[in-house]
A and B are shown apart, each in its own frame.
Chain A
Amino acid sequence: DTEVTQTPKHLVMGMTNKKSLKCEQHMGHRAMYWYKQKAKKPPELMFVYSYEKLSINESVPSRFSPECPNSSLLNLHLHALQPEDSALYLCASSQDSQLSYEQYFGPGTRLTVT
């Protein structure tokens, strides 16, 4: 099973809402990633979790809060977002953070902030 799942597929939220994105993998991977992708742009790294510990935070605003409850799950909590945060949010995993050249991506959550 080489699948990474993400829910929801689409999300529309107001600037005062709180919502969460979820990501799950059952490949036994120990590194998980959150990316943000705008149209016609490459994925932009936000966070890296390695063995359930946050190892990289790419200076992401605090209105994005990641959480890794266990080795299979990754959440991204959203609060007080801005319209410019509208994007495709991709979750990915790799066997290990030292093997991050080969990542498996989920289908993404398309987020619209109104």
Chain B
Amino acid sequence: GQSLEQPSEVTAVEGAIVQINCTYQTSGFYGLSWYQQHDGGAPTFLSYNALDGLEETGRFSSFLSRSDSYGYLLLQELQMKDSASYFCAALNQAGTALIFGKGTTLSVSS
């Protein structure tokens, strides 16, 4: 089966950098996705890492280490609007559906 572990809450101040970790145990692994969900909103796709290394998209970066079964989402120059839940997710063994981690609630204060 699949399981993904991530911290339940992270707090930070505006302008800071925060890292949200995700460790996974999967019977088959294709890659790691990250989604953002604001309160009352829909999840939105942020990034996908299929290979080891860092992928950068503006203020957000995502990292994957297959050998360590570990990834993280790095958010730089934090803004109040980054306050949201962040989910890591991995495909099921057949590669046809996403399994989500329990989510990390990020609170950014001024």
Residues of chain A touching chain B, judged by Cβ–Cβ distance below 8 Å, are 4, 31, 33, 40-43, 45, 48, 50, 55-56, 90, 92, 97-98, 100-108
Pick the most buried of B30, B33, B98: most chain A CB atoms within 10 A of its CB: B98
Interface residues on B, range: 20 to 34
User: Is A56's CB under 8 angstroms from B97's CB?
Assistant: yes
Q: Kindly report which residue of chain A lies nearest to residue B45, judged by CB atoms.
A: A102
Residues of chain B touching chain A, judged by Cβ–Cβ distance below 8 Å, are 30-31, 33, 41-45, 48, 50, 87, 89, 91, 95-103, 105
Q: Top 8 A-B pairs ranked by shortest CB distance?
A: A42-B100, A105-B42, A97-B96, A101-B33, A101-B48, A105-B43, A107-B42, A102-B45
User: Is A50's CB under 8 angstroms from B96's CB?
Assistant: yes
Instruction: Sample 5 A-B pairs with CB under 8 A, ordered by A number.
Output: A41-B102, A42-B103, A56-B97, A97-B96, A100-B97
Q: How far is the CA of A41 from the CA of B102 in the complex (A)?
A: 6
Q: How far is the CA of A90 from the CA of B87 in the complex (A)?
A: 15
Q: Kindly report which residue of chain B lies nearest to residue A33, judged by CB atoms.
A: B97
User: Is B100's CB under 8 angstroms from A105's CB?
Assistant: no
Nearest CB on A from B51, distance (A): 13
Q: How far is the CA of A1 from the CA of B94 in the complex (A)?
A: 29
* Given the contacts A33-B97, A42-B102, A42-B103, A100 and B91 also touching, CB distance less than 8 Å: yes
Q: Which residues of B have CB within 8 Å of A92?
A: 43
Q: Which residues of A have CB within 8 Å of B44?
A: 105
Q: Which residues of B have CB within 8 Å of A101?
A: 30-31, 33, 48, 50, 89, 91, 98
Q: Which residues of A have CB within 8 Å of B95?
A: 98, 100
